[in-house]
A = this chain, B = another copy of it.
Amino acid sequence: MHKIKVLQNRVKNLFEGRNYIDNPKELYDPIQYSLSQGGKRLRPLLSLISCSMFGGNLKEVENSAIGLEIFHNFTLLHDDIMDQSDLRRGMPTVYKKWDTNTAILSGDTMFVIAYQYVTASSPDILVDVLKVFNQTAKEVCEGQQFDMNFEKEANTSIEDYMEMIRLKTAVLIAAALKIGAIAAKAPKDEWERIYEFGILIGLAFQLRDDFLDAFGDVDVFGKPIGNDIITNKKTYLFLKAYENADKNSKVELDAAFALSGKEKVNNVLDLYAKFGVKTDTENKIIQLHDEAMDILKQIDINNDNKDELYLFLSQLIKREV
């Protein structure tokens, strides 16, 4: 098992200096812009960690790992149009810097490039990798659609929300890990275990994101605090607050969400505290984390090999990496 630092460096090298510039430049410049912004490169890293953990040859997973990262960035390009997001990683989004048509077509092209990398996998793992990749890509689209539906719905249950983030976020994290196991030629039972592990970690990761928007440190989180509150986004916290509030308290929540600016954020945060939303969310994250670790324990490999993944993911959920 390689140390995380080694794998992180290897992922960095996979992307550093990679050039997507081609003709016509109107199509490829936005791709270069999007893919050279960096980001955590979390999904390729998880593929390498998983492949290494199962004793695989990292060369076998690298092309798919690059494909997963490019796919993820493609979804951001299109999501940013649909959500009308102006900033991404502190930079103007492609749709804002260029226009909607550019973000659509450059996004489509990135999707093809992602498939070109996946196609470069060894023939003996190609079909299995592709099946995971296809299914995941479809589910990510479904997740985005559910997310957009929720913004128009009056009543969204926490159960619906968990299913939405499973599709929109968790399946890609789980797929990254599963593709690592496929590339390492681990037994098929283990593909499913690491996938289920990834789903739970992905859910915890998204709830942590929701949590930090309300209770995070702006310097660590990298985004302004309270943005979800300002935009009335239906996060786990939002839905939990309404679930926990009795009939009278719902009026208080409605009133707080009808305010604006800093006053709105402070009032909502006070109610989140009053209705136990902070504790409930933290507990849910711990529960998902523990369930994930129980699955990791069942995976039949040397425990030493699991340590790096265990440590990295614990830090990830705390958002220390």
Question: A78-B105, A81-B100, A112-B134 provided; 14 other pairs, C-beta below 8 A?
Answer: A26-B149, A78-B104, A82-B101, A101-B148, A105-B144, A105-B145, A105-B148, A109-B141, A112-B138, A115-B115, A115-B130, A116-B138, A119-B131, A119-B134
Q: A142 on the interface (CB 8 Å rule)?
A: yes
Which residues of B are found within 8 Å of A78, using beta-carbon distances? 104-105, 108
Which of A's residues lie within 8 Å of B, judged by CB?
23-24, 26-27, 78, 81-82, 100-101, 104-105, 108-109, 111-113, 115-116, 119, 123, 126-127, 130-131, 134, 137-138, 141-142, 144-146, 148-149
Contact B123 A127 (CB under 8 A): yes
A144–B102 Cα distance when bound, in Å, is 11
A24, A111, A148 — which one has the most chain B CB atoms within 10 A of its CB? A24
Which residues of B are found within 8 Å of A149, using beta-carbon distances? 24, 26
A116–B130 Cα distance when bound, in Å, is 8
* A247 → chain B closest CB, angstroms: 31
* A78 → chain B closest CB, angstroms: 6
Contact B81 A104 (CB under 8 A): yes
A130–B137 Cα distance when bound, in Å, is 17
In the complex, the count of this chain's copies comes to 2
A115–B23 Cα distance when bound, in Å, is 25
A23–B164 Cα distance when bound, in Å, is 12
Chain A to chain B contacts (Cβ below 8 Å), 14 pairs: A24-B149, A26-B145, A26-B148, A26-B149, A78-B108, A81-B101, A101-B148, A108-B108, A109-B142, A112-B141, A115-B115, A115-B130, A119-B127, A123-B123
Which residues of B are found within 8 Å of A131, using beta-carbon distances? 119
A195–B78 Cα distance when bound, in Å, is 33
A138–B111 Cα distance when bound, in Å, is 9
Residue in chain B with minimal CB distance to A137 = B112
